[in-house]
Amino acid sequence: MVGKIVVSLVSLILLVGVIIGVVVVVHQNGNHKEDQSTKVQMKKVHEFCQAAEFKDSCAKSLESVAKNDTATINDYLMAAFQTTVEEVKKGLQEAGKTSVNKDSDPYNHMAIEDCKELLQRAVEELEDALSLVGETDTESLNEYTYDLLNWLSAVYSYQSICVDAIDKPELKTAIQNGVVNATQLTNNALNIVAKISDLFQSFNIQIPDNLINSSSDSNSPHRRLLEANKIDQDGYPTWFPVADRKLLAKSGKGNGKGQGGAAAGVAPLLPPIGPGPITPHAVVAKDGSGKFKTVTDAVRAYPPNHQGRYIIYVKAGVYNEQVLIDKKQINVFMYGDGAGKSIITCDKNVKIAKFTTSKTATVAVESEGFIARGITFRNTAGPEGEQAVALRINGDRAAVFDCSMEGFQDTLYYQSHRQFYRNCVISGTVDFIFGMGSAVIQNSEIIVRKCGPKQKNTITADGRELPSEITGLVLQNCRIVPDKELFPVRFTLQSYLSRPWKQLSTNVFIENEIGDFIRPEGYMIWDDHTFHQTCLVYEYANRGPGAATNLRSKLFKNFKVLSPQEATKYTVGEWLRGNEWLPGTNAPFYLGLGGK
């Protein structure tokens, strides 16, 4: 009996040992699998954040997706974008809590209001990017790189402009601290999207041959920035509404065929300015012969949920007012009886009137698809008013032609997104063509005016800050000349082509005629900054007495005379992807080098 008991106890001990051994092995195997899974996910996070400048912030933004074994590149991008949206919203809340007395400090009160508007716009454009990624299959993401960079470049600029505009140190610090995380995450997103092809390789995703380096020929129904960018058989991009096609067919001979092709040369000019067979939605006339007496009233009459292009005809006259085209008022076509005849003017400025730079604009455009023709945009504040904008555009796919922009400091503000100017006259003194968007000014006259006694003339001042931003300013085949008041003293007062507003300021001068009054060093340093050491200033095939490059300032480390191949990168076809949308504007243009 005792022996049986001993045997039973030994058997029980052996059984327990076996069970424990099995449990230990199973547990170890489970831990091994978990460890392997964790390693795989950590590797994915590491590879996704490889291009990010702020890697810790990048990794933290992926917490919601990092534990998902089946997460795709889309999921990672959406997590990064969503976290950025949340951080921008926090910055917006901080701006909302900041109170400035309008009467005692009108400038900073307006600057805070500007911040709120800019950050709200940043949220909306990030949400557009989020939607695009969510609605696009992984293999097709590569072809939307340009679109995403276009949005993200604008989002970054909104945050930068928001902080820059604030004058009072304690307010600036509060807002800057409020958006610092958002700024870092936007920076990361730009860098990651710019290197998305490398990301595909690290995730072992094969891009179909027809989608490699492609940003066109898309049939995706979900495209929201360009909607689609095929050029149809009539020469229009497929996003262009049928109603617009009919309208533009009425407004000129031909249907736009050939405008988008590399061999097409110059698009046909539009017919003489005037209403002609076009029936505008709103006619503005000082004498009461139109439905409206002010341009502002005509803009306000834009119907909710309007489809197609909204046409405003501004009859000859001087309209002393500030005009704002809201971001919801898309596809506005505003035309007049000609530059110098239909004139919109005001004198709002920073120095005297205490407006922020953005709010000084005589005409401000916040919507995409804006077209203007045959109008003068003027700011009469003069040199003593300092920053005083005549035209500010903050919407994608803007085309301005046969117009004049007149002012002194900060005349034309290409605030964000893609903009094209053709056959225009632009005049001013200090930084009078400036911004943070992507702009090409083609076949126009750039008139440098007589600056104030303590000022120096600088034509351009671009605000690009990051390597991955697709922003900068190009002047192509323009005439750069002094006005009649500057001419007698043109060698006494100093005039330069450009100075760098931000660290990667990008200013490109291609095929221009440059007058003798431009100083041989060409470029001027921005006081108290070292941006001249990092900015990009390029020239190609300029002509005239001011075009010699042998004496250009050696302080500008990245100055370069481009080769034809390098210069092509900054033409309308490459820089603005103009073949995708300019045919629909009916503006004349050429895509490459050497056009007229």
Active site residues: 431
Which residues lie across from 404 on neighbouring strands? 376, 425
Written as one string, the DSSP assignment of 478-505 is -EEEE-TTTGGGTTTS-EEEE--SSTT-
Which residues lie across from 441 on neighbouring strands? 421, 475
Query: Which residue type sits at 522?
Result: G
Largest CA distance in the chain: 128
Residue-wise over 274-294: b if at least 16 C-beta within 10 A, else e? eeeebebbbbbbeeeebebbb
Element (H, E) at 106: helix 106-134
Residue-wise over 454-476: b if at least 16 C-beta within 10 A, else e? ebebbbbbbbbbbebbbbbbbbb
Contacts for 217-221: CB closer than 8 Å, 24+ residues apart: 218/140, 218/143, 218/144, 220/135, 220/136, 220/140
Alpha carbon distance 13, 5 (integer Å): 12
Alpha carbon distance 340, 550 (integer Å): 39
Alpha carbon distance 149, 155 (integer Å): 10
Element (H, E) at 378: strand 376-379
In terms of C-beta density within 10 A (0-12 exposed, 13-18 middle, 19 or more buried), how is residue 7 classed?
exposed
Question: In a 3-state reduction of DSSP, which class is residue 183?
Answer: helix
Alpha-carbon radius of gyration of the chain? 28
Which residues lie across from 538 on neighbouring strands? 508, 560
Which residues lie across from 323 on neighbouring strands? 363
Contact 548, 527 (CB under 8 A): no
How is residue 264 written in tokens?
């097409």
Contacts of 115 (CB under 8 A, 6+ apart): 95, 162, 163, 165, 166, 175
Alpha carbon distance 424, 589 (integer Å): 12
Contact 356, 372 (CB under 8 A): no
How is residue 434 written in tokens?
């400036």
Alpha carbon distance 179, 166 (integer Å): 14
In terms of C-beta density within 10 A (0-12 exposed, 13-18 middle, 19 or more buried), how is residue 488 classed?
exposed
Phi-psi region of 382 (alpha: psi -120 to 50; beta: other; left: phi over 0): left
Question: In a 3-state reduction of DSSP, which class is residue 405?
Answer: strand
Element (H, E) at 280: none
